[in-house]
Structure 1
Amino acid sequence: MKRSNPRGESVNRLNPRGNGDNENFVNTQATVVTYLECQKNVAESAGGHAVDGCQEFIGSGGEEGAPSTLICGACGCNRSFHRRLVTVLSE
């Protein structure tokens, strides 16, 4: 798929190097996403700030992609409340 960038140049999104050889393009980067401590403010209704102390998201098991896998088994909140750490691994 080709698109134009702001300078009007054609950019191939499948092969950003632009050499036209998509079959030989190898992405050598992998990303690992880890969900760490819970940042949900449990004292918000009282006007304060306190977190529950959950240190890491623990999936509650189940089938991959099911809504129940987004609930933390330790604190019971949604995964979106946990701090997300993205690590990029490269060769």
Structure 2
Amino acid sequence: MQAEIRLHRTNPPGTGNSQMDAIRILGLLPREWTRHLSQADGDMVLRVDTADETTPAQILAAAAAALADPAVAHWRLSACEPLASL
């Protein structure tokens, strides 16, 4: 399953480092997933490929669990959308 995870910063822009936060969040997602940062300017867009039958709900749950980490708790999930497989 390939999906795009969109995140929104809850603290004011300029307070924190989006790219550093992205690295932290990517590291908190399951290691067996392929993870990529697509955008880290303001809002954040992550792309994941689980390489199995993981559901969008499971991806959303994993992303929510990652955001429970206090270091990145100032980010909120905006969307989790499946992508068409190539």
Q: TM-score, normalised by structure 2?
A: 0.27
Higher percent of residues as strand: 2
Higher percent of residues as helix: 2
Q: TM-score, normalised by structure 1?
A: 0.26
- Bigger relative contact order, structure 1 or 2 (CA pairs below 8 A, ≥6 apart): 2
